[in-house]
Chain A
Amino acid sequence: MALFEVIGELHPRGISYAILSLIIENTDIVYLIVDSEEEKEALTEVLLELKDQYELRRCASSTIKLKDFKVVPADSYYMNWEEYSGRRLIFVKQDRNLRSPVLDMLTVFIESMWRVRARDPVKRIAVHIADVLLALDVIKEHYRHLRELIEMEMTETDPKKKKELAESVKKKQKELMSMLEARFPRKEDALLAYELAKFLF
C-alpha cells in the first residue's frame, strides 16, 4: 500500500498523534498500536525519518529528545496485551481525536502534504517537524522568562505594578512570536512551536 493510502487510513491526525507522542510523552519508549502491518510499516518509516532528521540537526545541549518507539499491529497487541501492561500505549486511530491545539496544527500541516501529494513526503514531514523542534531549543529560555512574568503578574496585588507586568508580558510574547516568525515562513508553524513550548517548558 502506498504511503498516501496508508496516511488516508490512519488519517493525518493519526500520524500527527503518533508524532506528538514521541515529543511529549514522559517515558523512554512508546508503543504505538495500529490496525495492520501496512500501517505499521508506513508509520515506522515516517517516525524513523523524523528521528534521523532531528538527531542529525539537534545540538548536543538540546533537552528535547524524541522517544524511542515500537509500532505494534492491533491483533498482535491484543493477543499479548498482558505483556504490555504498564507500558505507555498510543492507540493511533482510537485516540487521534484528542482535544489538543498542537494536534490540530500538526494535522493541518500533514494534511497539506497529503492533499498536494508532495514529493518525498516522508522526508518533508520529518524535516519540517525537526525544524519546529530545533526552534524550541532557541526559544526555551525566552519562554521560561515569559512564564515567570505571567506568574508574577498573576500574583501581583499592586495595580500599578500589575499593569506594568501585563505590558511586559505582552512585549515578551510579541518578541517571542517575532523570533519564531523569523524562522518560519508560515505563521501556523510559528504558532505550533509556541504551543509546543507552552506544553513542554
Chain B
Amino acid sequence: MSASETSIVTRKKHEQRTHQVYDSSPWVSRDELIDRILKTVRRLRILPSDAEELVGMLGKSSVDEITKKMRDKGIPISSYDMWSILERLRAEGYLRVITTKPPEAITVAVETKVMTPTIETVTPRERPPLESAPISLEIEGKSIEIPVPEVPITAGVHAEIAGAAFVALVPQELQEKINIVKESRILERYFAINEYLKAAAVLSREGNVTLLSMYRDIALADVEIAAASTVIVKHALHVVSSMALEQLKEIIINSDLGYLVLSELPRETVIVAIFSAEVPVGLMIRDFMSMRNEIVEILST
C-alpha cells in the first residue's frame, strides 16, 4: 500500500468511528449493561436514567447521535469521549459494532487557512538619499573642496519570506499529517457541535507557521495569537517540568469576552482555541481536550 493510500485509510478510519452504531451483546442483560456503564463513566456523574437512555439508543444511533442527545441533556461530553467509552465497553465484550450511519454534510460556516507563515512581511524602508555635500577646507588661504566618496548602501534585513518557501520549512511528514487532520474535518466537527467555539489553530512551536486555523465570526491576527500562544505554552511547559507536575494538559486564559485555551501537541506543535464567554467551562474543556486528543492521535502515528 502506498503512503498516500495509507494516509487515506488513516483519515477514513478516523472519520468512520463516530458514525459507528454499537449494540449490546445479546447475552448481556440490560441491567448488567447499565450498571457497567455507570461504573465506566463515573467521572461524568451521569444519572442511571441517562445510562438507561444510552442503552436504549444502542443498536439504533451512531456515536455522533448519542453524543448530541447527551449534550442536549446538559452532559458535557464530546463524540470522542463517547467513542472512547463505547470502545472501552467493546473491549470488555459488552458491546460490538453492528453497522455505520452514512455521514452527514457538516454545515458550518468557518474560514480555513492551511500552512501560512505568521511572520509579518517587512518591506524595507525607503532610505533618504545620502546627502553628500562636499567638505570645505581652507588651507593657506586657499579654499579646497573635498568631494565625499560615494558610500555603498548596505541592504537592510529583509524579512519577507515567500509563503511557499516558508511552508517548505515545515517537515514533509508534518505537512502530510496536518493534511490528514484537515481532511478528517476534526476542527469542523467541533465547530459544528460547539457554537461557542470561535477559533482554533494548530501552530508550530516557534509560532512562525500557522499549520491549520479556522475562525468563525471573529477576525484574528494570526501573528499576535501565534506568537503569544507559543510563548505562553513554552513557559507553561517549563514551569510544569521544573515543578515536576508531570504532563501539561491545558492552559486556560479567562477574559471578559471569552476564553483562550492552549495546549501542546506532538511534533513540536501547539493548539490554540478561542471560546466565547458564554461557554459552559466543563463543556469547553471536554471539547478542547477531545479535539486535541484526536489531533494527537494523527500526529503521533
Q: A87–B100 Cα gap in the complex (Å)?
A: 8
Q: Which residue of B lies closest to A195 (CB)?
A: B27
Query: How many angstroms between the C-alpha atoms of A85 and B62 in the bound complex?
Result: 11
Report the Cα distance A97→B101, complex, angstroms. 23
The distance in angstroms between the C-alpha atoms of A56 and B52, with both chains bound, is: 45
Q: Which of B13, B96, B101, B103 is in CB contact (< 8 Å) with A78?
A: B13
Hey, which chain B residues are within 8 Å of A24, CB to CB?
Answer: 26
Residues of B within 8 Å of A85, CB to CB, are 19, 99-103
Of B19, B91, B99, chain A has the most CB atoms within 10 Å of the CB of B99
> Residues 46-90 of chain A: 1 if any B CB is under 8 Å from the residue's CB, otherwise 0?
000000000000000000000000000001001101101111110
B 92-114 binary contact with A (CB < 8 Å = 1; else 0): 11101111111100000000000
Interface residue? B293 (CB, 8 A): no
Query: Counting chain A CB atoms within 10 Å of each CB, which of B8, B96, B103 scores highest?
Result: B96
Query: Do A98 and B16 contact each other (CB < 8 Å), given the known contacts A82-B102, A82-B103, A88-B98?
Result: no
The number of chain A residues with a CB under 8 A from chain B is 22
Interface contact tally, CB-CB below 8 A: 66
Q: Which residue of chain B lies nearest to A24 when distances are taken between CB atoms in the complex?
A: B26
- Which of A99-107, A140-148, A170-178 lies at the binding interface? A99-107
B25 with A81: CB separation less than 8 A: no
| CB atoms of B96 and A98 under 8 A apart | yes
Please, which residues of chain B bring their CB within 8 A of the CB of A98?
Answer: 25, 27, 93, 96
* 26 pairs, CB–CB < 8 Å, chain A vs chain B: A75-B1, A75-B5, A78-B13, A78-B16, A81-B12, A81-B15, A81-B19, A81-B100, A82-B102, A84-B99, A84-B100, A85-B100, A85-B102, A86-B101, A86-B102, A88-B98, A89-B97, A91-B96, A94-B96, A95-B97, A97-B92, A99-B28, A99-B92, A100-B27, A101-B27, A102-B27
- Assembly CA distance A100 to B13 (angstroms): 27
With both beta carbons as reference points, the residue of chain A lying nearest to B97 in the complex is identified as: A91
Supplied contacts A79-B5, A85-B99, A98-B93, 18 more A-B pairs, CB within 8 Å: A75-B5, A79-B12, A81-B12, A82-B102, A84-B99, A85-B100, A85-B101, A85-B102, A85-B103, A86-B99, A88-B98, A88-B99, A89-B100, A95-B96, A95-B97, A99-B92, A100-B25, A101-B27
Tell me whether B161 is interfacial, beta carbon within 8 Å.
Answer: no
- The yes or no answer to B177 lying at the interface (CB within 8 A) is no
Q: Out of B15, B94, B101, B103, which one reaches A99, CB within 8 Å?
A: B94
Say yes or no: is B170 at the interface (Cβ < 8 Å to chain A). Answer: no
Is B90 part of the contact surface with A, judged by Cβ < 8 Å?
yes
In the assembled complex, A199 has its CB within 8 A of some CB on chain B? yes
| Chain A contacts for B12, CB-based, 8 A | 78-79, 81
Cβ-based interface call for B9 (8 A): yes
Q: State which residues 4-18 of B face A: CB under 8 Å.
A: 5, 8-9, 12-13, 15-16
Contacts of B91 in A (CB 8 A): 97
Task: Give the interface of B toward A (CB within 8 A).
Answer: 1, 5, 8-9, 12-13, 15-16, 19, 25-28, 90-94, 96-103
A99 and B97 contacting across the interface, CB-CB below 8 Å: no
Known contacts A78-B12, A78-B13, A79-B12; is A95 also within 8 Å of B90 by CB?
A: yes
| Chain B residues, Cβ within 8 Å of A81 | 12, 15-16, 19, 100
A78 — which chain B residues lie within 8 A by C-beta?
Answer: 9, 12-13, 16
CB distance from B27 to the nearest CB of A (A): 4
A183 to chain B minimum Cβ distance, whole angstroms, is 24
Q: Considering the complex of A and B, which 5 residue pairs feature the smallest CB-CB distances, nearest first? A: A95-B96, A85-B102, A99-B93, A97-B93, A100-B27
In angstroms, Cα B295 to Cα A8, docked, is 34
Given A75-B1, A78-B13, answer yes or no on A100-B26 (Cβ-Cβ < 8 Å): yes
Cα A85 to Cα B92 with chains together (Å)? 25
Minimum CB–CB distance for A180 against chain B, Å: 20
- What's the least CB distance linking B247 to chain A, in Å? 28
Cα–Cα distance between A83 and B118 once the two chains are bound (Å): 41
- In the complex, how many angstroms separate the beta carbon of B284 from the nearest chain A beta carbon? 31
Give the shortest distance, in Å, between A117 (CB) and chain B (any CB).
Answer: 28
